[in-house]
Chains A and B, each alone.
Chain A
Amino acid sequence: MSMQALYLLVPLAPLAGAIIAGLWGTKLFGNRLPRAGAHWVAIIGVGVSFVASVLIYMDVMRGNVFNGPVYTWLESGSITMQIGFLIDTLTVMMMLVVTFVSLMVHIYTVGYMEEDPGYERFFSYIALFTFSMLMLVMSNNFLQLFFGWEAVGLVSYLLIGFWYDRETAIFANLKAFLVNRVGDFGFLLGIGLILAHFGTLDYAAVFKAAPELATKTIPFLGATEVSLMTAICIGLFIGAMGKSAQVPLHVWLPDSMEGPTPISALIHAATMVTAGIFMVTRMSPLFELSETALSFVIVIGAITALFMGFLGMVQNDIKRVVAYSTLSQLGYMTVALGASAYSAAVFHLMTHAFFKALLFLAAGSVIIGMHHVQDIRQMGGLRKYMPITWITSLIGSLALIGTPGFSGFFSKDSIIDAVHHSHIPGSGFAYFAVLAGVFITAFYSFRMYFLVFHGKPRFDTSPARGHAHGKDAGHGDAHGHAGPPHETPWVVTVPLILLAIPSVVIGWMTIQPMLVGDFFKGVISVAINHNVLEEMARGFHGSMGMAVHGLTQLPFWLALGGVVVAWFFYLKRPDIPEMLATRLSPVYTLLDNKYYFDRFNQWFFAGGARALGNNLSEGGDRTLIDGWVVNGSARMVGAASRLIRFLQTGYVYHYAFAMLVGAVAFLTWSLRRM
């Protein structure tokens, strides 16, 4: 099989699975496919895609890079828009992450969604997601990037609203779609500027021409001119802010937890939300030309990393804690982008994909084991009941907080180090934010860990306990769910174990090539004065050395402090957090209300748009146009004809008189003109 055919196979295999499961597995074509058939076509599709990605990875490692079209989508004048692939190290890394995590999630879903009536539909959606995400990362042009970008948004919409009879779910998915559309609005304008000034949407051509346009300015408001590159990059980055949930476009991500847990892991933690990080990395040749844009990026990232972490500390829903942690970690990646440490951002993207998918799937396992309870205040002591989930969760948490040796350590420490060396305006604040974030991350992660797995059980352990109808309605009652928590079946635990392995070792194994070596040779472009990773590379003496060195550094002690405080607060002295919540009630209220973003958006944007619409509809269309002009002119015609009726008397002398008057008037008028 030629390499080109293999490239095509990667997205098309999951697409085939999605189509078969979606058309024949659902009522659309009469439900002809059995449930197992639906999961097999999807799993085989993604499995094939994963194997093909591995083969392509090996090929790329041999130095074979591909950049070429698949077909011409549209031609208009000098503009040619194509569907095409760019297969290089960055792409292939993303392909591996996406297909591997997706495969794990597919297998996990067999257990998690076992009794859901929408089983086949679910597999169709996640396979379709895998296809869309692969098209996004494999693209060699902005058109296809936008295609994939919106397509993953569509699948996210479908999956958040998967349980469509829940009011909260269908509110959350509409919200997610609209907030993402705000991001896409900026993204599309960025793409529009690129086409207007470069005349092409092809990455390679744009990157090649970019340095010449680095100093070009475009008119903005009135006489003000802004740098073209800054405008393009900020437009593109607004897209990234939507997809990668950066403040203030982050509001959709916590609500997206209304979807089934497997997609929280796949879409809203490991892959889709990192699309923005990937995209900015891909666009590094453009972002490097605008310090203003980089500064904007680093500040937004720092705000997200710090302030979303705070929110994680007060959440009680197990999935929402992980969701805020995702927001905060996306902030870390964005900070790295702003500091021009693109490879560190992508490195953290990869390690995060594994341990965060693990944490979400483990949370899902806890939810199944607890019979759909999601409130961590009602858990406790689960380590005795769910040993595999317990150990894998611990591994995930240790990786997340950056314990030296675990994957998260290598990536997070690299980011902190890179920000420390950055001179971009805003990097000082960012450095503070990422350092403080380490403590906060450790605190909320282990707060959740201790509350869930340690301490005394806070649930009823008697076997007679009925089925708790919690939020995840994935189960029916038929299989006699009752009694104490239980470990989940192998289809659930095996993916946990398979994800726990890279969560431990992937950082240790890959930091050398990805950050110090030249894995991304020529793919990521960094201006000489932005090269913050160079310093780190100079001091790098192997993964082991970095891990040992890490034990003496501030981030490690901050993380340790966070863990200890969490232990003290939630296992030793549970009265302290309660007391703090009362003492610091204004702060607590602010955090509990998520800084009032949702309320404001609901009032200002949703309410404002409806009010404006009503005013335009009633005042503009109905009263002004229809009432005054249309029906008004109809009334005028009516009135005029009534008047004219008076003139139509039928008496000849009236007409003669009128003619005379008319003739005199006409003559007067024409005489005056002479």
Chain B
Amino acid sequence: MPYLTLSILVPIVAGIALLFLSRADQTSLVRQLALAGAVLGLAVTIPLYTQFNTATGAMQFEELARWIEAYNINYHLGVDGISVLFIILNSFITVLVVVAGWVVVEKRPSQYYAAFLIMSGLMNGVFAALDGVLFYFFFEAMLIPMYLIIGGWGGPNRVYAAIKFFLYTMLGSVLMLVALLYLFNVSGGSFEILRWHLLPLPHKVQIFLFIAFFLAFAVKVPMWPVHTWLPDAHVEAPTGGSVVLAAITLKIGAYGFLRFILPIVPDASRTLTGFVIALSLVAVVYIGFVALVQKDMKKLIAYSSISHMGFVTLGFFLFSQLGVEGALVQMISHGFVSAAMFLCVGVVYDRMHSRMIADYGGVVHTMPRFAALFLFFAMANCGLPATSGFVGEFMVILAAVKVNFWLGFAAALTLILGAAYTLWMAKRVLFGKIANAHVAALTDVTTREFWLLAVVAIAVLAMGLYPKPFTDVMHQSVLDLLAHVARSKM
């Protein structure tokens, strides 16, 4: 079975079908079809895990077809231990997003769900593409539904945010296109990413390619200082948009580092290690302080995301198995935790229509079940052991101390900063006396909302208590990658 093609096509086809159901009386049909599409989309990715061969670091589930013969462009898909988990994560998050929007989205639901499903398929394409042009196609195409989601279902300042998001990421990836075309030329007319991995390149060229790719991916991650689009995008995006943005879109940037930068330009990567590590640590520490003073819950979580993604880029550039695997674990964990945090904000936003921390206080009195879940995710966000948030941070910090004590020292500051901004927010939102009449009138989570969050909570707990199944999938691919990076290509 072509599981990868299915994982791309199932959501896209369901999404396109939804576009034909735009009449007002079709809303419930729309929801059911959207859910069916998302669940089927998740179902076809399950074999990717169950049939995955952990003994090899090579590509699996490969599919190859000619696409544009004149330029030797292929429809080439495949996954390894680095990418496979993100396809499953993405398909899982899509189900959550559909359920989260169930009764909440009243404005043009068919287009809303269509945008998410199509985006989900495109993002699976990003993780599965092994052809440069195919990758670029998916990478750019996924911007369009996200742009529409922010611009169409967003908050009052959505147009500024949507354009900022679009321009930032577009401009970032312009140079990447140049780099792809250059690689096509020097490789003798091939867009095969895996062939580019083997291409010998002089150091100077590697540096230029590094910069071109780095700009594209650093904006997506986002790394400091090209991160300022993210808080704006999150604040204006509807809940589902924020969830996908945080859980998946950011991971695409980080994934680019492992699929393009490290293997194609290993020598440049080693040369510029200090630069990337410095930016990562700035993200962890500087952004930690910035998060502390945010007054808007979504902004705070957005900054917290940037800080957590700093661990990912830091882990990559430690060039050790513990570091890279820790970074990958952090990516998956952040997918769960940040998604849950944004879902939690969505739950109270739907009731209060405010994201301002100051408008809340004492929510636990009226929403005790919500408060329990929110506090659980807050704890996961500050990396409490037995939650998934701990695993990646722990691995990366340990790997960093091994490289240099002070690297670990700076990275470990997140222990204090992360707890400070997350729990201070939790204190002001959840605890204390009931702050005002709006809080007093709140109703607790519905069954749908409860299980939506509970499912993520179970995932967070399971990954925290037993992360081995996740890392076992990665081992061989990470080892191969590190061995590859250690060899000079000059």
Contacts and interface: CB of A to CB of B under 8 A. Distances in A.
Interface of A: 26-28, 71-77, 79, 146-147, 150-151, 154, 157, 161, 164-165, 167, 170-171, 174, 177-178, 181-182, 184-185, 188-189, 191-193, 195-196, 218-220, 231, 609-610, 612-614, 616-617, 620-621, 625-626, 629-630, 634
B468 A72 contact: yes
B368 A189 contact: no
B325 interface: yes
Contacts of A181: 415-416, 419
A189 B286 contact: no
A74 B471 contact: yes
Given A72-B468, A177-B419, A189-B405, A28 B412 contact: no
Interface in B405-432: 405, 408-409, 412-413, 415-416, 419-420, 423-424, 427, 430-432
B321 A76 contact: yes
Given A178-B419, A192-B400, A617-B290, 16 more contacts: A27-B368, A27-B444, A73-B467, A150-B385, A151-B384, A161-B431, A164-B431, A167-B433, A181-B415, A185-B412, A192-B402, A196-B398, A616-B286, A625-B225, A629-B225, A630-B228
Contacts of A620: 286, 290
B321 A77 contact: yes
Contacts of B444: 27
A191 B398 contact: yes
Q: Is the interface of A mostly helix, strand, loop or mixed?
A: helix
B39 interface: no
B397 interface: yes
A147 B423 contact: no
Interface in B382-414: 384-386, 390-391, 394-395, 397-398, 400-402, 405, 408-409, 412-413
B385 to A, nearest CB: 4
A601 B301 CA distance: 26
A5 to B, nearest CB: 20
A191 B402 CA distance: 11
A165 B431 contact: yes
Contacts of A626: 228
A66 to B, nearest CB: 22
B292 interface: yes
Contacts of B409: 189
A647 to B, nearest CB: 23
B372 interface: yes
B363 to A, nearest CB: 10
A625 to B, nearest CB: 5
B164 interface: yes
Interface in B156-183: 164, 167-168
A185 B413 contact: yes
Nearest to B226: A625
Given A177-B419, A195-B402, A613 B292 contact: yes
A165 B293 contact: no
A609 B398 contact: no
B369 interface: yes
B431 A151 contact: no
Nearest to B433: A165
A613 B293 contact: yes
Given A147-B385, A189-B412, A630-B228, A617 B293 contact: yes
A28 B369 contact: yes
B364 interface: yes
B163 to A, nearest CB: 9
A57 B472 CA distance: 38
- What 9 A-B pairs have minimum CB-CB distances, sorted nearest first? A192-B401, A613-B293, A196-B402, A77-B321, A613-B289, A613-B292, A147-B385, A170-B431, A164-B431
B322 A77 contact: yes
B412 A188 contact: yes
A219 B364 CA distance: 49
Contacts of B292: 609-610, 613
Q: Is the interface of B mostly helix, strand, loop or mixed?
A: helix
Contacts of A73: 465-468
A101 to B, nearest CB: 24
B212 interface: no
A616 B362 contact: no
Contacts of A634: 167
Contacts of B400: 192
B294 A75 contact: no
B365 A165 contact: yes
B315 to A, nearest CB: 11
A167 B362 CA distance: 10
Contacts of A182: 416
A610 B412 contact: no
B379 interface: yes
B369 A185 contact: no
B405 to A, nearest CB: 7
20 contacts: A27-B369, A28-B372, A73-B465, A75-B472, A76-B322, A76-B325, A76-B326, A77-B321, A79-B322, A151-B384, A151-B386, A164-B432, A165-B362, A177-B423, A184-B415, A185-B416, A192-B398, A196-B398, A617-B289, A634-B167
Contact of A146 (B369, B385, B402): B385
B468 A74 contact: yes
Interface string B421-454: 0011001001111000000000010000000000
Nearest to B419: A181
A189 B431 contact: no
A151 to B, nearest CB: 6
B293 A614 contact: yes
Contacts of B326: 76
Nearest to A186: B412
A164 B431 CA distance: 5
A72 B290 CA distance: 38
A76 B395 contact: yes
Contact of A188 (B384, B397, B402, B468): B397
A195 B379 CA distance: 25
Given A73-B466, A189-B408, A193-B401, A617 B294 contact: yes
Nearest to B324: A76
A27 to B, nearest CB: 5
Contacts of B390: 150
A76 B415 contact: no
A621 B302 CA distance: 13
A188 B286 CA distance: 21
B432 A170 contact: yes
A629 B227 CA distance: 12
Contacts of B420: 178, 609
A410 B171 CA distance: 74
A610 B471 contact: no
B369 A167 contact: no
Contacts of B293: 610, 613-614, 617
Nearest to A150: B385
Contacts of B433: 165, 167
A192 B290 contact: no
Given A76-B321, A177-B423, A188-B415, A164 B430 contact: yes
Given A165-B433, A192-B408, A625 B402 contact: no
Contacts of A74: 391, 395, 467-468, 471
A609 B289 contact: yes
Contacts of B432: 164-165, 167, 170
Nearest to A153: B384
Contacts of B167: 634
A579 B243 CA distance: 65
Nearest to B401: A192
Given A26-B368, A150-B385, A174 B424 contact: yes
